[in-house]
Amino acid sequence: MEIKICGIRREEDIEIINKYKPEYIGFIFAPTRRYVSPNDAAKLKEKLNGDTKTVGVFVDEKPEKVREIAETVGLDVIQLHGGEDAEYIKKLNTKCEIWKAVRVKDDGVIPDTKGADKILLDKYSEEELGGTGKAFDWLRAGDAKIKKPVILAGGLNSENVKRGIEIFSPVCVDVSSSVETNGVKDEKKIKEFTDTVRGL
């Protein structure tokens, strides 16, 4: 089971990542409290050890701007968290893997996302595009037939991740706010989460 720690923005975060070695880290290039500039992300990536891959999170950004940032940072994955569709993905014309985030509403309906390599399931919120720390209705959404590999996000923590994995059989679990204390990454919580997932 792969692990992604999202919202990385400080050198201290990278030190923790290098210790616990999740398969992915996420840099957020959208206007949220976890935003990091492309230049800062590139500097942080230089300090990254091992095989951890980098994911850039974008929300309705112009395709040419996404390509530019992906090249500047040296991203492995582009995660689209807005209203991007298959036509948009074609315009990206990138060698990066494409993850399309689907913000699941309470009805549990999951739209098909053409053009993406993997689908990331997250909680729908009118206020925020992600990182809400809240889970969607897993049981209702778990009945949907999803044809692509799933990354599970939205309110995951050390207590509920086992149940989420049982329902969705994801290829990766994605966590951010639940491994933070006062808005910054917490080594103890990251260790607890990674130990829990790898112990399953």
Q: What is the CATH number of the domain that holds 150?
A: 3.20.20.70
- 114 falls in which pLDDT band (50, 70, 90)? confident
Q: Is 116 exposed, middle or buried (0-12, 13-18, 19+ CB in 10 A)?
A: buried
The answer on pLDDT for 67 being more than 70 is yes
Q: Which residues are catalytic?
A: 6, 122
Give dist(CA 52, CA 32) in Å, integer.
23
> Phi, psi at residue 188, to the nearest 5°?
-60, -40
Give dist(CA 94, CA 64) in Å, integer.
10
Give dist(CA 157, CA 162) in Å, integer.
9
pLDDT of residue 125: 55
- Look at the chain and report how many structural domains it folds into: 1
Give dist(CA 92, CA 143) in Å, integer.
32
Percentage of the residues of the chain whose pLDDT score is greater than 70: 87
Give dist(CA 128, CA 82) in Å, integer.
11
The predicted model gives 56-67 an average pLDDT of 97
- 50 falls in which pLDDT band (50, 70, 90)? confident
- 141 falls in which pLDDT band (50, 70, 90)? low
> Phi, psi at residue 96, to the nearest 5°?
-65, 150
The predicted model gives 161-183 an average pLDDT of 95
Tokens of 157: 């923590």
The answer on pLDDT for 196 being more than 70 is yes
pLDDT of residue 113: 77
Query: Which domain, by its residues, includes 75?
Result: 2-198
